[in-house]
Structure 1
Amino acid sequence: MRGPRAGARATSRDVARVAGVSQATVSLVLGEKWRGRVSERTAEAVRSAARSLGYRPNLAARNLRLGRTRTALMVVPALTNEFFARVYTGAARVAAEHGIGVVLYPSPEGVGPARDPFASARATLDGVIASSMAAEALTALREGGLPLVMLDSDPARAEASATVNLDIADGMRQVVEHLLALGHRRFTHLAADIDSWTFHVRARALAEALREAAGTDVHTEPAALTVADGLRAAERALTRPGPRPTALICDDDIIAAGACKAARRLGLRVPDDVSVTGFDDLSLATAVEPELTTVRLPAEAVGEAGMRALMAVLDGRPTAVQALPVELIGRGTTGRVRRIV
């Protein structure tokens, strides 16, 4: 099958020819209206053909008809956070396939409110994708009626047009089941000191899972999302009066890295004397030694799902709350309880 002539701009006919489908099918797939009409395999063949040909639709007439700017705003806590960088990568990949521009805007303090970055955002944006860690961001935009897709956020939030979640509760249950199977019964939860739905879910899921396990004990130590604060919280947990915890359950890999440093400074071995678990599976998880047992969160898939949800809202198609699966990755920081102290 031939593509476009050298130097010529690829057309939908070229995409149809390479994918082996009709132009109508190309239109359905690239317009995100294919579900229930064509198979997932066919849809992926069309997207792959479009990518290989560098196909970009001529959106001028469609944008004029729909009153669209083809621009979405993504609000995240911080550009330096690896997880949200990967979320952006996934969202931008889907957006590029559909000729949508993405403006990335971080909350200035890392969490909490962000100021409207535009003089007249309602006129310059089609919609907003926002993390729960920036849940109070851009209030004026929401009040102006812009479609809002929330990521990792309470699905009951009335102002959200759609919600894309990770199955955070199941991730914490997997952590607890893993540690219980290794014989652990005394735990400290190094809890992220952030008033955010995603961290509230982790705390509730941990409490519920341990409530069902006989003979367990859990203490909570708050910690900011830094290695230094994780270290200090772990030191408090490991030196407080009474029996020492055999496992530190951390809300984030960054906190867990601090916990591992604290254990070493106190002369404890990980995992022989204390096990440590994280959450996210950042690059940091395999940079520490021993490598970190953690819950892998598919960050790029979150971004992709968020952008597709926003496009569905803009096209008037139904959306449903999505809960993407997560996976416990067992590595070297967890082991069987070897001695009781």
Structure 2
Amino acid sequence: MSTAPTVYDVAERSGVSIATVSRVYRNPDSVRAQTRERVLASARELGYVPSGNARGLASRSTGVLGLCFPDYSDPDAESEAETGAGDEADDDAAMLYSDQIIRGMERAARRHGYALLIAASLKGGPESQLAKVAGRVDGFAVLARTVPTEDLDVISRRQPVVMLAGPRESDDLDHLDHIETANTDGQRELTRHLIEDHGLRRLAYIGAEESPDVAARFRGHAEACRAAGVPVSDAPDLRVAMMTQAEGARATDELLDRPGPRPEALLFANDQMAVGALHTLERRGVRVPDDIAVTGFDGIALSRLVRPTLTTVRQPMRRMGEEAVELLVRRLTGQQGKEPVSMMLPVSPTRRESCGCT
């Protein structure tokens, strides 16, 4: 038996946010006439009838949990895993940050009898992603900054939502459960290791634009530098658009070509960029770690397969996925109190060959 269309279906069909659909029915004058007509036309085509009884997920159970995140897959990482790992290659080799979260959620969801629905695409925008997931699940997890705050606020009034990674972006989301990792602590310890144990002082930090995780990591890096009297700027030495191997390679070329003394260490905000840097340094005849040390962050499986092996900070991403499901299930079964849960998972610096450790 087919289910009645929901506000999520209307949002997806119209190409607008859930909040916009809600405003069309609650306060139509606040929406532009052209947009309002498009939403109403989509509603008519779908046979959607607004209801004050929390139509959609609040009135039924789907047996499905969702995960919504931007697709930042890196083809270079997948190629490296397939061709560069030899006999050591396995299914984990190309697994990136979000892949590990998915595995953790899948494992915990099966344990509780739920299926997992994933929306991971840059096409169609964040509103489209949210519409694809929210109307078909009992609750969902979303990576920070994936969807607009107003949409999260609307949907979280109807079903449980867990935010993953990064700090909460707005006071409007204080009511959401939240799981993050100790980014600042992990990077602080790693930078301190380079300074105190290897005597490195010319450090270059490479991160992404507008990333709350990168901001937290850079904060730890800067704290370690200032505590040791090492010069550090107020922002990463270089910012990239996306944290991929290709961007890491490009950033490395740019830093090597800058005038003045060469950095003694390149600290990347994730492992993918660091792996790209290793390839560029090898191509240019720069020895790692003899000439330049390289570090990453995340602890993806590829970090232990490259040569030299990559010094990094391991994040418990599978555990983050599992904890997200546990929180959602407790919310759905009424076992969690009304107060929002805020969870900080520990990280573990892993010292390997790329910084001079063995």
**Do both proteins adopt the same fold according to a TM-score greater than 0.5, normalized to the shorter chain?**
yes
**Which of 197-206 and 287-296 deviates more?**
197-206
Q: Among residues 213, 216, 219, which one is paired with 1:198 in the alignment?
A: 213
Aligned residue pairs, count: 269
Residue 334 of structure 1 pairs with residue 346 of structure 2: no
Moved more, 229-238 or 217-226: 217-226
Change in Cα spacing, 1:168 to 1:240, as seen in structure 2 (3 Å) is same
Q: What TM-score does the superposition give when structure 1 sets the normalisation length?
A: 0.71
Alignment of 1:130 onto 2:142: yes
Q: Counterparts of 1:239 and 1:74 in 2: how far apart (Å)?
A: 41
Mark the CA change 1:65 to 1:103 in structure 2 (over 3 Å): closer, same or farther. Answer: closer
Q: CA offsets per residue over residues 98-148 of structure 1, 9 Å max, x none?
A: 1122111113259x72514657944x32212011152438x6464132321
1:107–1:134 contact (8 Å) kept in structure 2 = no
1:273 match: secondary structure:
coil
User: Partner residue of 1:75?
Assistant: 68
| 1:99 is the counterpart of 2:110 | no
Identity, in percent, stands at 32
Cα distance in structure 2, aligned partners of 1:73 and 1:93: 13
Contact 2:207 2:268 (8 Å CA) reproduced: yes
Partner of 2:343 in structure 1? Answer: 322
Give the distance between the partners of 2:302 and 2:311, measured in 1 at CA. 11
Q: Is contact 1:185–1:217 with CA below 8 Å preserved after alignment? A: no
* Residue of structure 1 equivalent to 2:167: 154
C-alpha deviation, 1:267, in angstroms: 2.0
Unaligned stretches of 5+ in structure 1? 1-63, 337-341
Distance 2:214 2:275 in 1: 18
**Does the CA contact (< 8 Å) of 1:190 and 1:249 recur in 2?**
yes
Structure 2 distance, partners of 1:132, 1:211, is 29
Secondary structure class of the residue paired with 1:84: helix
Do the aligned residues in 2 keep the contact of 1:78 with 1:108 (CA within 8 Å)? yes
Residues 268 and 312 (structure 1 numbering): CA distance in 2 closer, same or farther, change over 3 Å? same
The answer to whether residue 255 in structure 2 is matched with residue 237 in structure 1 is yes
CA separation in 1, counterparts of 2:304 and 2:121?
28
* Residue number in structure 1 paired with 2:224: 209
CA contact (8 A) 2:274 2:295 kept: yes
Distance 1:217 1:165, change over 3 A: closer
Amino acid at match of 2:319: A
SS at match of 1:130: strand
Query: How far did residue 228 of structure 1 move?
Result: 1.7
Question: Letter of the aligned partner of 1:68 in structure 2?
Answer: S
The alignment status of 1:143 with 2:164, answered yes or no, reads no
Question: Which residue of 327, 340, 346 corresponds with 1:309?
Answer: 327
CA shift for structure 1 position 278: 0.4
Secondary structure of 2:106 counterpart: helix
Q: CA deviation at 1:185?
A: 0.7
> Higher relative CO (CA 8 A, sep ≥ 6), structure 1 or 2?
2
Displacement of 1:79 in angstroms is 7.7
Aligned residue identity for 1:309: L
Counterpart for residue 176 of structure 1: 191
Find 2:283's aligned residue among 230, 242, 265: 265
| Structure 2 CA distance for partners of 1:274 and 1:216, relative to 1, 3 Å | same
Give 1:239 deviation, angstroms: 2.3
| Letter paired with 1:323 | M
- TM-score relative to the length of structure 2: 0.68
SS of aligned partner of 1:333: helix
Does the Cα contact within 8 Å between 1:192 and 1:225 map onto a contact in 2? yes
Deviations 1:150-184 (A, max 9, x none): 00131464325200111111111121111012101
Is the CA contact 1:250–1:277 (under 8 Å) kept in the aligned structure 2? yes
- Match for 1:198: what amino acid? D
SS in 2 for 1:134: coil
State the alpha-carbon separation in 2 of the partners of residues 125 and 281 from structure 1: 30
Q: What CA distance in whole angstroms lies between the structure 1 residues aligned with 2:263 and 2:132?
A: 52
Matches within 5 A, 1:42-61: none
Measure, in 2, the Cα distance between the counterparts of 1:213 and 1:105: 44
